[in-house]
Structure 1
Amino acid sequence: MAGFIAPEALPSQPRAAHAQIPAARVGWGFVTLLALAYAGTWLALLTPVLVTVALRVRELAPDTAAASLSLVFGIGACFALVGNPVFGRLSDRTVSRFGMRRPWMLGGMLAGSGALLLIALAPNVGVVLIGWCLAQLAFNAVLATVVAVLPDHVPPEQRGTVAGVLGMCMPVGQVGGTFLVQTVAGSTLMMFMAPAVIGSVAVLLLVLRLPDRRLQPGEVEPFDPREWVRSLYIDPRRHPDFAWTWLSRFLFVTGTAFLSTYQPFFLIDKLGHSAASVPGLIFTSTLVQATMIVVASPVSGRLSDALSRRKPFVVGAAAAYATGLWLIAASDTFTTFLVGVAVTGVGQGVYFAVDLALVTQLLPNRQRDAAKDLGLFNIANALPQSVAPAIAPAILALSGGDYVWLFIVAGGIAFLGSVAILPLRTVR
């Protein structure tokens, strides 16, 4: 494929796994396939988060839907916490003629698709919980290895631009997923499996074309359980900027988790819409948010590269997202709700584009542990999926079931994500 990767970056022989910082700029063919794989993974993972798991839980346990959904997402997020760094670490140490990343990408998508099939056929919430835990493990293995391609192949001066493109992938997956659910709404099986199949094909395209790094047997250290466990911890005192960036991402994503998890209930209980209309309404809101992200993400990523600045973009983006959540809290119609969603879209687009480029410059050991370190960082993406459902019932109980207060608190948490970036010293 012309333009897949710059000619000087193509390996003529197996590349050492502990490679130096890539110098050659990647081509747009490479960026396109990487983006398709990333979007496909989010399509398979986020469609259940946004729509289908909530509807399935409501179908199986209508009287305890909110509590059951919190249980499923909360426990499932714990498995995501494990999956991302562990599979990232395994990928960094994988000896295979197919490379370090590709086996985990393909295997993870196949396993995740099987887990979604289990949820679609589940007879009760307990089986839904098991299926979702397996899906979180599998899809987080894919995310850990796909994101590791960025520091593996993209030079630092191009990462803002490429990360800006990747920043569009999550909303594209969201829009694609909610659209697919609308078109196959009459079939529970298809609502789960259509996104999984399309996502798997997208990842397969990257797997077939990726000039993956290959680790030679002599480069793998003997397995030491204690060292392996220690490697899953990064000392914040030795790497304070990485720690602050992790905290910022955790706080920001916690704010987003309230919206993604409780949007269906907000539309039903606060704005008075019927359950049957929720898939269409979520598609509309997701489309609005995605449009803003698709506009903001590549522009901010490219501008961040041009100015050689990361911090101002991340700080402003988190503050913008918080403002959007507060506008949602104040909404009393679907139209005003969409205004708040649009503002969150701008904040999310800028934040994820520039913050991803930022963290690749702060990895403690890019040469040896890129996937593992990114996996540890991605705990900040997964942990909020457990934290938000854990604290949401308490907020709702204290507020008498008022979703306004739920989103006011969510906005405050997201705003703290902007404050956490301010202490960074090694990146401007």
Structure 2
Amino acid sequence: MAGVAVGWCLAQAGLNAMLAGVTTPVADRVPLTQRAQVSGWTGLMQSFGLVLGALITTLLIWAWLTRFLINLGNALGTLYLFCFLADAVHYGDPGTGVLILTLIYTLCAAPTAFPAGVLSDRIGRRKVFVVLCSLVMAAAAVLLALLHTWRSALAAAAVLGAGYGNPQLTEASTNSPKLRIPHVFRPGPLTPPTVVAILKTRQ
């Protein structure tokens, strides 16, 4: 409650500072016969600013959400491998299994990421590749969720690696200021595996 109150006061302070700079020049610089018109435009721009701010917020949320989900999907398919191999697959040596799957994941990421980047630059389109890679990664997630075998884990590692390199194509089509906020939350998917690892070691 205290945080909401402080935030509200800060928002009102900024709003009042903005309104003071907008309304005061009307009385000083606008002729008396035109003040009502100018004041009307001032009020209209305030409403327009609210709409524009909401749209910008929506775009930022969408940018963060899509990047978070892609990284979350990749984190679930890589950072939980040790627990998955030990508890679900019952692989004899989970540590070695993680090493093998990570190697397959990496080897399959490079051959798809570079050609996709070249093709994306040639045709000047990014979204189609991002959507495609998201579907590929989703297929790997479904494979891991339905089949708990070593062979299916090998196949999922290859599929996940093939899909993950391509989301980075969005970097080329977006300038750096737009990427700052989404990247702030990028480490989010790394937190649950860290907690799980700590809990596992204490058992």
How far off its partner does 1:280 sit? 1.8
Residue 251 of structure 1 is matched in structure 2 by 69
Tell me the TM-score normalised to structure 1 length: 0.31
* Letter of the structure 1 residue corresponding to residue 190 of structure 2: Q
Q: Deviations over 1:346-378 (max 9, x none)?
A: 1102222x1222333xx4xxxxxx4xx544221
* Letter of the structure 2 residue corresponding to residue 359 of structure 1: T
* Letter of the structure 2 residue corresponding to residue 246 of structure 1: W
How far off its partner does 1:288 sit? 1.0
**Compared with structure 1, are the counterparts of its residues 358 and 246 closer, same or farther at alpha carbon in structure 2 (3 Å cutoff)?**
farther
Residue 359 of structure 1 is matched in structure 2 by 174
Residue 90 of structure 2 is matched in structure 1 by 272
Give the distance between the partners of 2:194 and 2:81, measured in 1 at CA: 16
Give the distance between the partners of 1:307 and 1:332, measured in 2 at CA: 39
Give the distance between the partners of 1:351 and 1:292, measured in 2 at CA: 15
Q: Deviations over 1:312-349 (max 9, x none)?
A: 11111111101101111222321221111111111102
Residue 185 of structure 2 is matched in structure 1 by 380
Residue 161 (structure 2) aligned to one of 330, 340, 345: 345
8 Å contact 1:304–1:313 — kept in the other structure? yes
Structure 2 stretches lacking a partner, 5+ long: 1-52, 197-203
Q: Deviations over 1:184-227 (max 9, x none)?
A: xxxxxxxxxxxxxxxxxxxxxxxxxxxxxxxxxxxxxxxxxxxx
Residue 31 of structure 2 is matched in structure 1 by none
**Compared with structure 1, are the counterparts of its residues 338 and 245 closer, same or farther at alpha carbon in structure 2 (3 Å cutoff)?**
same
Q: Secondary structure at the match of 2:113?
A: helix
8 Å contact 2:78–2:102 — kept in the other structure? no
- Which portions of structure 1, spanning 4 or more consecutive aligned residues, are displaced by more than 4 angstroms? 239-242, 388-392
Give the distance between the partners of 2:79 and 2:163, measured in 1 at CA: 18
**Compared with structure 1, are the counterparts of its residues 305 and 241 closer, same or farther at alpha carbon in structure 2 (3 Å cutoff)?**
farther
Give the distance between the partners of 1:304 and 1:266, measured in 2 at CA: 35
Residue 336 (structure 1) aligned to one of 152, 159, 176: 152
Report the structure, 1 or 2, having the larger helix content. 2
Where does 1:13-412 land on structure 2 (aligned, <5 Å)?
A: 237-238=55-56, 240-274=58-92, 277-352=93-168, 354-360=169-175, 363=176, 370=177, 374-386=179-191, 388=192
Give the distance between the partners of 2:54 and 2:185, measured in 1 at CA: 14
How far off its partner does 1:236 sit? 6.2
Give the distance between the partners of 2:54 and 2:174, measured in 1 at CA: 14
8 Å contact 2:77–2:160 — kept in the other structure? no
**Compared with structure 1, are the counterparts of its residues 245 and 295 closer, same or farther at alpha carbon in structure 2 (3 Å cutoff)?**
same
* Letter of the structure 1 residue corresponding to residue 62 of structure 2: W
How far off its partner does 1:245 sit? 2.4
Give the distance between the partners of 1:264 and 1:236, measured in 2 at CA: 42
Q: Aligned Cα RMSD in Å?
A: 2.5
8 Å contact 1:291–1:345 — kept in the other structure? yes
Give the distance between the partners of 2:166 and 2:173, measured in 1 at CA: 12
How far off its partner does 1:242 sit? 4.5
How far off its partner does 1:239 sit? 6.2
When Rg is computed on C-alpha atoms for both structures, the one with the higher figure is 2
Give the distance between the partners of 2:147 and 2:62, measured in 1 at CA: 33
**Compared with structure 1, are the counterparts of its residues 308 and 346 closer, same or farther at alpha carbon in structure 2 (3 Å cutoff)?**
same
* Letter of the structure 1 residue corresponding to residue 173 of structure 2: L
**Compared with structure 1, are the counterparts of its residues 239 and 302 closer, same or farther at alpha carbon in structure 2 (3 Å cutoff)?**
farther
* Letter of the structure 2 residue corresponding to residue 334 of structure 1: W
8 Å contact 1:325–1:341 — kept in the other structure? no
Q: Secondary structure at the match of 2:165?
A: helix
* Letter of the structure 1 residue corresponding to residue 97 of structure 2: L
Give the distance between the partners of 1:346 and 1:255, measured in 2 at CA: 13
Q: Deviations over 1:125-159 (max 9, x none)?
A: xxxxxxxxxxxxxxxxxxxxxxxxxxxxxxxxxxx
Report how many residues are paired: 144
Q: Percent identity?
A: 26
**Compared with structure 1, are the counterparts of its residues 323 and 391 closer, same or farther at alpha carbon in structure 2 (3 Å cutoff)?**
farther
* Letter of the structure 1 residue corresponding to residue 137 of structure 2: Y
